[in-house]
Structure 1
Amino acid sequence: MTRQFPRATLIALVTFLLGTGVYYLTSLETSLGLDTLFQLRGVRPPPPEVVVVAMDEESETRLGVGQDLTRWRSYHAKLIQELQRQGAALVVFDLQFITPHIGQDSTLASAMKSAGNVLIADCLQKINSDDKEFSGREECSERHNALTAEEENGQTQQPGEQGVLLMHKIRPAAILARTALDHAPFSLPNDAGNPTIRAVWPFLDMFKESPTLPVLAWLYYLQDKGVLEGVIQSDRPFSTWLTKQRKQCFSDEQKNLDILPSPSDLEITFNTLICHEDGQYLDYYGPPQTFKMVSYSDVYQGKVSDLEGKVVFIGKSNRKFSPGKTDVFQTPFTDTRSGRMSGVEIMATEFSNFLEDRFIRPPFPAVLVILFFGLAVALVLTQFAGLSGIVASLALFGAYTGMALWGFSRSGLWLPIAVPLIQLPLSWLMSLLWSRWDLLDERKRILAFVRQVFPQWLPYISASPGEWYPDKGAIEPKSEQDVNGLCLATDIEGYTSVAAQHTPREMWALLNDYYQVLGYPVSSNNGIIADITGDAMMAVWMDATKTTQRLSACFAALEMELAVDKFNEATVTGRLPTRIGLHEGDMTLGRIEAGEGSYYRAIGDTINTASRIQGVNKYLGTRILASAAISTGITNVIYRPVGAFRLVGRTEPLELVEIVGMSADIKKIQFDLHQQFALGLNAFRLGLWDKAETIFQTVLDNYGQDGPSEFFLEFMASFQGNPPPGWEGIVTLQAK
């Protein structure tokens, strides 16, 4: 024990220094640790008092306003009146009403004044001090694009060094600012280097300690509920009152805060918020649309009837995933399937965190946690040698992670988990190096003993510990592995003609970018790229349940389809439309020796069949085809059967399905098309070709282009509309 404690101390010190450096010098703990805690915890219910009214795609169509936010203003007055009629507690607009609209502002101002509970947003504009380039949200008036404009309309962050971003605040149009309950800015700290929104500012000290809109909404809601009675004394708008209190916190007048003694904890909460809080980490409730979200047009038309006592946040929010939209942000819960989160949802999240008094906070200084974890792991490793120590330390890390997750889920307490995960292998390495040192030291003593007592045995003892037992050589590992898995095959349509128009160097650069785009969906969905040859790629999934493999491969194929579309829109060298085929079965993964080199490949009929299936796409006009077995047991993916085919080189027919998309992305019109097509396919297979022809033609007339319907019409026409003798409902393809 006397010898082990110094070792444990040294291991703990080294891992503590490394962990502290990683924690303070990188964003790893937030980008990996905090996001992992959110994913492990999952969704938690948001407060029922909060509702988001989404200015969504459906409302754009119904109201005929498009994406121009200024065209919505004529509808806001009636919306406020409807919310007032239902008894909403508070109405918060995540919009800036900057440019005056003659003929609309008076009506809107009248509705705001009558309701008496409407909060609106100030505008923040960023100004590059070098080239005077301006950027701001959509409703920031262009006439404010000047440094002097803020002298009459707001406050300006003072210029600093060249190249910095200055910011100024623009208040709403005067008539609206007067009739609204209050107004304040709302800004999110995102940038290209750190695009994920994890923290917010309750106050913008750069604008003379101005509070932000969620803070105002929280105070006005507490006031509406009578909670502030006897706690805060103020006859001024809360935006003015909060600014004054914040300034007093940084002066000698802090003792004069207008907060009265109260038996509740609100006094402590307010003092902490006003005088001590800077940035706060948001406790997100889940992915986009976790809050109750209703369409703007539904509320406007009186179709929503349960808004009494609710805090209603109104803002731009796309309820369907659509790339390229503005005012959307990454959060720890957003991904390629959920899309990004709208700014109004983040505002509602911050308000809800205030309402629950629950932001993400560390219970202890991170350095203490890192120190004690490193010491605990070091003591375990010095008490248990070798594999036993590693297993015991893993159990310790598992218990610590479970405790961190419990505290995070229960109260939003944030213990670091990414840094301890780095400390763990470093502790193992140092422990193993010490074990190796001890082993070599022991070997020296053995050799010294043999040299003195049995010198005749010395020639038979190797100098290397790895060769103590030379008769027990390592077993040569197998160079191949038989597996049952799933193969995804891709091919570029029209690749030969594209290649003929460009130099080899241009095609190399194009394919290099293309395969990076194509490869990411495979790796992100736990697949393995087994081969890339020319314009074709093979990927495989194995070592998982069939359902998991099928779902992962379908997700990868759909993400590939989207990624290739974006790639083709962006490239100027040449478009590379891609066909995809999926099939599962037995295959062999192995190393093939060729001359002096060796190559790792996936081999077998499964690979060939997947390639043949992707080739059927060019006949059917589809993008993703799979053998019917792939669709068994999967959820969240929409597919449709497209018939039985006898592929080139195969005698047995194969039922194929088209992978159409994710359940949430499929519209009703596509379901109707699939149902009509299924009726036509059934008639085709039964030999009722007159009926099938009528149905397929109806599909094209009603729904426009549909590749499979066009294929079967052409196929039947080639036989003059009559099934050949011995018809079995199987289409035999004569070429790849």
Structure 2
Amino acid sequence: MRTVFFISFLSFAVSLLHDFDESLGIVSLLKYRGLLSSPGEVVLVAMDETSEAELGVGNDLTRWRRYHAGLIRELHRQGVALVVFDLQFIRADPEVDSDLADAMREAGNVLASDCIQMFRRATEDFFGREECSESNKDSALSKNGGAGGELAEPLVALRRISANPQLQPALLGHAPFVLANDAEDATIRETWLYLDGLGEMPSLPVVAWAAYLDRMQGFEQSKPWDASYMDWLAELRRTCLAANGDRASQKVDQRLAGIVCGEESRFINFYGPPQTLRMESYSQVLQGKVADLRGKVVFVGKANRQYAAGKTDFFQTPLTDARTGKMAGVEIMATVFANLLEDRFIRTPLAHGAVYAGFALMLALLLSVLPAWTGYAATALFTVSYVLIALWLFARHAVWLPIMTPAFVMLPTAWLTSLVMARRELLIERRRMLAFVRRVFPQWAGTLPFAESGNRKATFAAMTHREIRGVCLATDIEGYTSLAAGRSAEQMWELLNAYYQVLGRPVGARGGAVADVTGDSMMAVWFELSESERHTAACLAALDMQAAVMQFNQTSGLEPIRTRIGLYVGEMILGGLESGQANHYRAIGDTVNTASRIQGINKFLGTQILACRELVDTTAIAYRAVGRFRVVGRAEPVDLAEIVAPEMGPIDGGFAVALSAFQRGDWQVAIEGFQSVLKRGTDGPANFYLALAQGYQNQPPIDWDGVVTLDAK
């Protein structure tokens, strides 16, 4: 028991520092390994400071276009295999586009980048490179026929913009290239090979890699002559995702299967700091002063030789520092292509969580079996051996095992925990929590099988679990993390103490029982009344909770608390738990998990109380249907309704007609219907479905069955 607690505590501590190895571990491993020789097939043509001065173009990328046709013809004359532009030819330039298109067609081997725009909450939080011209920076809603409104907070609207119509047909291929640039940690470590959220679209390096292999060696499964490389690769990935395991890879050429059927993103194996790959000046290549380019894959893009702060499209990588500066986006693109060509991405054969668990288990075993100081010495030796093996695997095979967290977090935590951990403290904590629940929810005592006689344990053991059918209600505080920030543990204790008293009273008053309290969440169950009575009681309790929390917010003097509630009906087990001298029941089962998932859907729809239709259809509670959802961890969809008032039955107002059109895939009718609903006022579900309908109108989902699938809790 002591060992189990030790492992649980250690795993919790490690989970708080999960990003430690990603931020520092890869940096340490790459610096230990040193430089790698880059593939000779890859060459960068840099639009650098020298070329800016010689060609008189300055920093304006649009002024470079007049020279691209000459560059393509010079590269074609030298027999390069591919020319890949890290540029987006979106805005038309009538003076040069005709000649540029002719040069692209003559060469027959030119690829260019598409623009991916991402919008969160309409016009707020716009993301897209500057080559996406100003005319394409309109709101995602207004661009697709919406009038005002906002996207739901968790949703991201994606839009792809390709080269202008005169240039696009002349390209051999085109695709987006998007880098994961986190505002909190701007270091680039990963790359998306596919954008599964945008119709399984491949990235430009993947398209270039497939085109290179096709032109050099060909594939057993040939690309259809009328399909672009991007569409062909997207269709192959959809085939993989629709199949399972080995059956998927058997349908794809083996040289493509590892990428097409693999993970959406990979960790980049950088060959060194900026300018490690072969780099030539644009003006020198244009003037024919650079030779030895036959058979090469040439990447063309903005890349300064002397790094200057403030330049756009330059990124921090694990191997950049104050001396080397940041790496140009085109060099990162070329690095990804080189990794594809050499099958040299950084690999993680085991999930880091599994490595942490195994490491924690070994530390726990050594510290539990061996005497104190011997155990410390053994764990230190084990950690050093593990780190040496991890360094060797990375240097030789690009296999990444975490080293920073095990060596600098887990080992010290294990030593400290082994000194201070005691079973007595665990029992005291359990008793304190049970005392808290008894004090806050006195009505719970009547539902618990306490026996004060000497035969108490025998009585409890006989009632250790009970299978019931009833209603489960789950609650959660919206924005709990922000609420807790800046407050002491004592202040949060006092706040939650008062909050749960307010929240728990409607449960007891409506004949229910509180089954569990965890952090900012509460579970309650109804099972002793008749079916119609408990359904009605649970719905009324939810409405009472909503009103009680509103009154609590008016008198608390703190920022308002918003409580989300979910209800589901089904089979449950009331399981008896014993801790020290205290006994209590706890509800477990799929019904409990589903109620919690339904509660979470409120944050997507902007609602407060959601319940399954099976529950509300047997009551006189006022509600409206809000659609069918497939939630995380559950294959069977649930049909949901929003509870809005104590009586009246189902309500409408035009929303149902729009929802019906959405479920049958009539996107335009659905968009018009939801917009009509929103004209009458703010409506969270209408906002949610309007955003989805507009996205599906541009990119219809495959095998649409009217069910909205949520990938997040």
Task: Please indicate the TM-score interval, normalised by the length of the shorter structure.
Answer: 0.5 to 0.7
Q: Verify: 1:361 aligned to 2:335, yes or no.
A: no
Larger radius of gyration: 1
From 416, 420, 430, the counterpart of 1:429: 416
Q: Verify: 1:145 aligned to 2:140, yes or no.
A: no
Stretches of structure 1 lacking an aligned partner (at least 5 in a row): 1-5, 153-157, 438-736
Q: Secondary structure at the match of 1:112?
A: helix
Task: Show the 5 A alignment for 1:239-250.
Answer: 239-250=230-241
Q: Secondary structure at the match of 1:294?
A: strand
What is the CA-CA distance between 1:231 and the residue it aligns to? 3.8
Describe the shift of the 1:76–1:254 C-alpha distance in structure 2 as closer, same or farther (beyond 3 A): farther
**Corresponding position of 2:401:** 415
What is the CA-CA distance between 1:379 and the residue it aligns to? 4.0
Which whole-Å CA distance do the structure 2 matches of 1:213 and 1:233 have between them? 17
Q: Verify: 1:314 aligned to 2:292, yes or no.
A: no
What is the CA-CA distance between 1:129 and the residue it aligns to? 3.1
In the alignment, is the contact (CA less than 8 A) between 2:223 and 2:232 conserved in 1? no
Which whole-Å CA distance do the structure 2 matches of 1:48 and 1:381 have between them? 51
Describe the shift of the 1:50–1:367 C-alpha distance in structure 2 as closer, same or farther (beyond 3 A): same
What is the CA-CA distance between 1:17 and the residue it aligns to? 3.9
Which whole-Å CA distance do the structure 2 matches of 1:304 and 1:397 have between them? 51
Deviations 1:153-184 (A, max 9, x none): xxxxx984058653321110112101111111
Q: Verify: 1:403 aligned to 2:389, yes or no.
A: yes
In the alignment, is the contact (CA less than 8 A) between 1:209 and 1:247 conserved in 2? yes
Task: Show the 5 A alignment for 1:45-194.
Answer: 45-131=37-123, 134-147=126-139, 160-162=151-153, 165-194=156-185
Which whole-Å CA distance do the structure 2 matches of 1:432 and 1:72 have between them? 67
**Corresponding position of 2:11:** 16
**Corresponding position of 1:334:** 320
From 286, 306, 316, the counterpart of 2:272: 286
From 185, 198, 207, the counterpart of 1:207: 198
Describe the shift of the 1:251–1:289 C-alpha distance in structure 2 as closer, same or farther (beyond 3 A): same
Kindly, what percent of the aligned residue pairs are identical? 44
Which whole-Å CA distance do the structure 2 matches of 1:234 and 1:122 have between them? 22
Q: Secondary structure at the match of 1:175?
A: coil
Describe the shift of the 1:168–1:115 C-alpha distance in structure 2 as closer, same or farther (beyond 3 A): same
Q: Verify: 1:42 aligned to 2:34, yes or no.
A: yes
Q: Verify: 1:304 aligned to 2:290, yes or no.
A: yes
Structure 1: which amino acid aligns with 2:411?
Answer: L
**Corresponding position of 2:677:** none
Describe the shift of the 1:159–1:399 C-alpha distance in structure 2 as closer, same or farther (beyond 3 A): farther
Describe the shift of the 1:255–1:179 C-alpha distance in structure 2 as closer, same or farther (beyond 3 A): farther
| Alignment coverage as a number of residue pairs | 417
Describe the shift of the 1:160–1:360 C-alpha distance in structure 2 as closer, same or farther (beyond 3 A): farther
**Corresponding position of 2:219:** 229
Deviations 1:209-264 (A, max 9, x none): 221100100001101211x332444222211111222333444799998x877xxx
What is the CA-CA distance between 1:187 and the residue it aligns to? 0.9
Which whole-Å CA distance do the structure 2 matches of 1:74 and 1:311 have between them? 22
In the alignment, is the contact (CA less than 8 A) between 2:122 and 2:150 conserved in 1? no
Give TM-score scaled by structure 1 length. Answer: 0.53
In the alignment, is the contact (CA less than 8 A) between 2:220 and 2:253 conserved in 1? no
Q: Secondary structure at the match of 1:60?
A: helix
Give TM-score scaled by structure 2 length. Answer: 0.54
Structure 2: which amino acid aligns with 1:428?
Answer: W
Describe the shift of the 1:375–1:49 C-alpha distance in structure 2 as closer, same or farther (beyond 3 A): same
**Corresponding position of 1:550:** none
Deviations 1:121-146 (A, max 9, x none): 11123335344675532222222233
Describe the shift of the 1:135–1:276 C-alpha distance in structure 2 as closer, same or farther (beyond 3 A): closer
Which whole-Å CA distance do the structure 1 matches of 2:415 and 2:242 have between them? 51
Which whole-Å CA distance do the structure 2 matches of 1:199 and 1:427 have between them? 31
Structure 2: which amino acid aligns with 1:288?
Answer: P
Q: Secondary structure at the match of 1:174?
A: coil
Provide the aligned C-alpha RMSD in A: 3.0
Q: Verify: 1:31 aligned to 2:23, yes or no.
A: yes
Structure 2: which amino acid aligns with 1:208?
Answer: G
Q: Secondary structure at the match of 1:240?
A: helix
What is the CA-CA distance between 1:148 and the residue it aligns to? 7.2
Q: Secondary structure at the match of 1:136?
A: coil
Q: Secondary structure at the match of 1:241?
A: helix
In the alignment, is the contact (CA less than 8 A) between 1:233 and 1:260 conserved in 2? no
Q: Verify: 1:220 aligned to 2:211, yes or no.
A: yes
Q: Secondary structure at the match of 2:197?
A: helix
Deviations 1:465-493 (A, max 9, x none): xxxxxxxxxxxxxxxxxxxxxxxxxxxxx
Task: Show the 5 A alignment for 1:366-515.
Answer: 366-381=352-367, 385=371, 389-421=375-407, 422-433=409-420
Which whole-Å CA distance do the structure 2 matches of 1:288 and 1:401 have between them? 28
Describe the shift of the 1:133–1:401 C-alpha distance in structure 2 as closer, same or farther (beyond 3 A): closer
What is the CA-CA distance between 1:413 and the residue it aligns to? 1.1
Q: Secondary structure at the match of 1:84?
A: helix
Stretches of structure 2 lacking an aligned partner (at least 5 in a row): 425-713
In the alignment, is the contact (CA less than 8 A) between 1:96 and 1:120 conserved in 2? yes
Deviations 1:413-445 (A, max 9, x none): 11111221211011222344589x9xxxxxxxx
Describe the shift of the 1:102–1:287 C-alpha distance in structure 2 as closer, same or farther (beyond 3 A): same
Q: Secondary structure at the match of 1:102?
A: coil
Structure 2: which amino acid aligns with 1:34?
Answer: I
Which whole-Å CA distance do the structure 2 matches of 1:225 and 1:232 have between them? 13
Which whole-Å CA distance do the structure 2 matches of 1:48 and 1:95 have between them? 23
**Corresponding position of 1:347:** 333
Which whole-Å CA distance do the structure 2 matches of 1:90 and 1:16 have between them? 49
